Structure 1
Amino acid sequence: MCGRYALYGPQSRLRGQFGVEPADLEERFNIAPSQDAPIVRCGADGARELIAARWGLLPSWVKEPGKLAQPINAKVETAGEKPMFRHAFKRSRALVPASGFYEWVPVAGYKQPYFIRPSGGEALFGFGGLLEHWEGPEGFVLTFAILTTAANDLMRPIHDRMPVIIRPKDYAAWLDPEITDANLVRELANEYPSADMEVYPVGRAVGNPRAQGPELVRPVQA
């Protein structure tokens, strides 16, 4: 599962890694479900663009949003077949830039949060995302979900699932709406190498979705 993540640091990282022009994005150290966040998609002209979307998928065919759960995650193993996700899985994939993500491990009497980021902390993850649009009385809404997969060796002691992380060499194919075969899409979401990630404990303040600030990603003693 992926229920919180962060996006911070020099905006040149977005330009260099994803080929998009950031528009004075604020640093976010605790992005939570139902909040808007920046994602990368393939635009109508074929060029990549950075846009804002709400975290929690709402497909276009939904008639009464209040009566349907709006999932923040989708399993990559089954998303290509499930009605909630299959259109976006085939035709409307996105990349979710992240400096890292949080996961919690139960210990004696509480849950210890951990922060997982690219090794060295100088790059970004590109989570595999699904993008949908919905139009209702309040207008046009873009929403997204983050795909998850089985944990790699680094993550397994913390959680049995982790976000799908797309390798930069596969960004173009991942965003290509002409690649619709579910098996080919799943191949792009192969296990991300443990050697390219690092994990460390952080303070429990991140459990409050209103908490923000660089102190949330600083290491602490577990």
Structure 2
Amino acid sequence: MCGRLIAGDMTQAQMAAIIEGFVYPSRSVVIASDAPPAATGYNVKPTQQVNILFPQGENLVASTARWWLVPHWFKGPAEDWKATTFNAKIETAHEKPTFREAWRNSRCLVPAIGYYEWSGPKSDRQPNFIHVKQNHPLMLFAGLRTELSDGRQTCTILTRPALPEIHDLHLRMPVLLSAEEATHWLDHSAPDDEVRAQFGTHWTGRFQVDRVAKFGMKDDGPELIEPIGTGSFDFGD
């Protein structure tokens, strides 16, 4: 699950302003000028660069990472890492050799404006744009990052069992953090048992799932998230 993100056309500066205004008003966001540019658009895929946020002293750093985590101990090129690690289960990441060091020391946030999930039979898969109602456009996913010996950063997005209202689309969903949870996630101020059991579970009634037109691997543009027909499902009040 969570194999496509919607980044939109937001710049890092615009993203930083939203983070400072709505999520971390007491902290500054410093943009890493030497990071490779993040992929923008409406069809961002694993192995592309995505935006990440992580703490550094009193500030948050806005940087980018290759969306497919490679553990810090892997000695070869990132492209030679073959395990599927663009997602990691929040229930077990803390104990898996691939993720446990990042769980302890290199947590991050992966911002996006939504993600896609597919429904229906394999012969006729239907894309759905999933986002939530809140007072800013960014969804903040719980992530883990690594920095490799060549200075490149990689990341993964944590997932958990899907909430009942989107369970029919997929059994799992990304761990979507509230502003308070994002703070606790980055500074380790919540017990790990609480993180694994509760983080990302408080969005009932705020999901919006829009059925969108089928698109190809290379397609992009805002039209990809336009609802079609009567297939837009609003789970709000």
Above 0.5 in TM-score?
yes
Name the amino acid aligned to 2:6: A
Residue 191 of structure 1 corresponds to 201
Q: How does 1:3-82 map to 2 (within 5 A)?
A: 3-8=3-8, 11=14, 12-19=17-24, 20=29, 27-43=40-56, 45-65=57-77, 66=80, 68-82=82-96
**Cα deviation code 1:173-197 (max 9, x no counterpart):** 2111x55953243256241322121
Cα-to-partner distance string for 1:45-94 (whole Å, 9 max, x where unaligned): 23111101110001110123525425100000111111111111122111
> CA deviation digits over 1:155-211, x for unaligned, max 9?
1111100000111112222111x5595324325624132212110111111x41x22
Question: Does the CA contact (< 8 Å) of 2:70 and 2:81 recur in 1?
Answer: no
Q: Name the SS for the 2:92 alignment partner.
A: coil
Partners of 1:98 and 1:124 within 8 A in 2? yes
For the Cα contact (< 8 Å) 1:170–1:188, is it kept in 2? no
**Structure 1 residues 157 and 70, CA, compared in 2 at 3 Å: closer, same or farther?**
closer
**Number of residue pairs aligned between Structure 1 and Structure 2:** 215
Q: Compare relative contact order (CA 8 Å, sep 6+) and give the higher one, 1 or 2.
A: 1
Match of 1:169 in 2: 180
Task: Report the Cα distance in structure 2 between the residues aligned to 1:9 and 1:15, rounded to whole angstroms.
Answer: 19
Give, in angstroms, the shift of residue 108 of structure 1.
Answer: 7.7
TM-score (norm 2): 0.81
Cα shift at 1:26: 7.4
Which amino acid in structure 2 is aligned with residue 185 of structure 1? V
User: Does the CA-based 8 Å contact 2:52-2:108 persist in structure 1?
Assistant: yes
1:92 corresponds to which letter in structure 2? S
Q: Deviations along 1:138-163, whole A, 9 cap, x unmatched? A: x2110000000000022111110000
Task: Determine what percentage of the aligned residue pairs are the same residue.
Answer: 34
Amino acid paired to 1:37: V
Aligned residue in 2 for 1:214: 222
* 2:210 match: 200
Residue 88 of structure 1: SS of its match in structure 2? helix
3-state secondary structure, aligned to 1:143: strand
Structure 1 spans left out of the alignment, 5+ residues? none
Q: Distance in 2 between matches of 1:28 and 1:166?
A: 22
Taking the aligned partners of 2:71 and 2:143, their CA distance within structure 1 comes to 14
